[in-house]
Amino acid sequence: MSGLDRRAVVRIAKYGLPLAALGLLSSIALWPELTRTVENGRVTWHRLTMTTNGAGLMMRPRYHGLDGRERPYTVSADTAERAGPSRVNLSMPVGDVTLQNGTWLLLKAKKGVFMQHSNELDLDGSVWLYRQDGTTMAAATATMNLKLGAATSNDYTHAEGPFGTLDAEGFTLADKGAVIQFHGPAKLVLNGAH
């Protein structure tokens, strides 16, 4: 290498290396903000991909919220149509909630009405509930308070699970399905011990 080439390499190193180090340190310091911006961009992109038809019908909406104890829940549907300032009519609604211990509960029906201000979901038509322990319940209608993690029905209810089968005049679900009470008269058939 000639003396002229060495000087050019030293000059580039003299200014280039500190600039590269400054850029690296800046990217480390700004990384959390960049991650947050990317995540916000994803959320915005997902919101923009929800399509509506000409009549204002929203396709595949998804609503995320937290109950009174800061536990997450999600309400989704095939379609949603606003029917007032706080009322949304849903077709094929599905509610998905996570319990304190990490287990989850799924609730679905043919149609429903979501009242945004009260966080209440009225379900109608083949209401079906599945709890992670294998318990299933079916009723014609149910009302769910998403903020409290509670649901109730005064319709005939059929439940099956590891315990056996139960037929009752309705149910009350509290604490996101951790406690289920059945209205009587009720008929319970327990599974025998294996």
d(CA 140, CA 156): 7
Contact criterion met (CB below 8 Å) for 84 and 70: no
Give the CA angle between residues 118, 71, 85 to the nearest 5°. Answer: 20
Taking the alpha carbons of 131, 135, 141, 147 in that order, is the dihedral positive or negative?
negative
pLDDT of res. 53 = 52
For 133-156, how does the pLDDT look when each residue is reduced to its tens digit (9 = 90+)? 888 899 999 988 877 778 889 999
pLDDT of res. 45 = 37
- Look up residue 47 and give its two tokens: 């919101």
pLDDT of res. 193 = 56
pLDDT of res. 173 = 81
For 1-57, how does the pLDDT look when each residue is reduced to its tens digit (9 = 90+)? 666 677 888 878 788 778 887 777 777 777 776 666 555 544 433 443 344 555 568
- Look up residue 4 and give its two tokens: 């002229």
Closest CA to 135 of 94, 101, 178, 100: 178
d(CA 154, CA 127): 12
pLDDT of res. 7 = 81
DSSP 3: H
- Look up residue 8 and give its two tokens: 């050019």
Q: Give the pairing of strands 150-153 and 170-174.
A: antiparallel
Give the mean model confidence (pLDDT) for residues 109-123: 87
Q: Is the pLDDT of residue 83 over 80?
A: yes
Most confident of 36-50, 97-111, 178-192: 178-192
pLDDT of res. 49 = 39
Least confident of 4-18, 50-64, 76-90, 166-180: 50-64
Give backbone dihedrals phi and psi of 141, rounded to 5 degrees, phi first.
-140, 165
